[in-house]
Amino acid sequence: MTPWLRFLTIALKHSLLVTLRSNTSITLQKPSNTTFVTDSRALSLTLDALKRKNFAISTLLRQIWHSHKKFNISKNLRKELKLLNYVFTHPKQFKFESPISHIIPRDFDFTASGDACLDGGCQRSISIFVTS
């Protein structure tokens, strides 16, 4: 993935997480989910308690993800979606490739050696081997 697209997807993830957090608070405050919330916070290590906890967590997460509550698109998310739409509609302008030259093994063009002198100009020897 290209580095610029990676940073854009981080911004999109943040906008979606804000929405999921509000879905979470709405789901956990429903009176019909009180038993699931208490079961999901159980600390017992018995097999039956762990099964109840896993079932409660999966039920709550399913309700959070499949919520039908509508949210307004924030200004930041709208800008990010417009930018993504522009990027995907102009593929010749934005390249989705990244260089792979760091993967290819090569011989070094030169070697340099020096000491750890704090004065900065105390290098004893520098040898340069240029290969063509």
Instruction: Give 11-39 pLDDT, tens digit per residue.
Output: 788 888 888 888 888 888 888 888 888 88
Q: How far is CA 21 from CA 5, 6, 18, 105, 126, in A?
A: 24, 22, 5, 46, 58
Which helix or strand (DSSP H or E) is residue 76 part of?
Answer: helix 75-89
Asked whether the whole model's pTM tops 0.85, one would answer no
- In this prediction, residue 67 has a pLDDT band, given cuts at 50, 70 and 90, of confident
Buried b / exposed e over 22-49, threshold 16 CB at 10 Å, is ebbeebeeeeebeebeebbeeeeeeeee
Is there a domain that residue 33 lies in? yes
- Residue 40 inside a domain? The answer is yes
Q: What is the residue-averaged pLDDT of the chain?
A: 78
47 occurs within a structural domain: yes
Q: For the chain, what is the domain count? A: 1
Per-residue pLDDT reduced to its tens digit, 43-55: 888 888 889 888 9
Residue at 126 is within a domain: no
> What's the number of CA atoms in the CB half-sphere (13 Å) around residue 117?
10
CB 40 within 8 A of CB 53: yes
Q: Does residue 65 sit within a domain?
A: yes
Whether 127 maps to a domain, the answer reads no
How far is it, in rounded angstroms, from Cα 66 to Cα 87? Answer: 29
User: Is 99 within the bounds of a domain?
Assistant: no
89 vs 76, more confident: 89
What range defines the domain where residue 59 resides? 3-89
Statement: residue 115 has pLDDT above 70: no
Three-state DSSP at 127 gives strand
Domain assignment of residue 129, yes or no? no
> Cα Rg for the chain, rounded, in angstroms?
28
Residue 117: pLDDT band with limits 50, 70, 90: low
* pLDDT for position 27: 84
CB 2 within 8 A of CB 97: yes
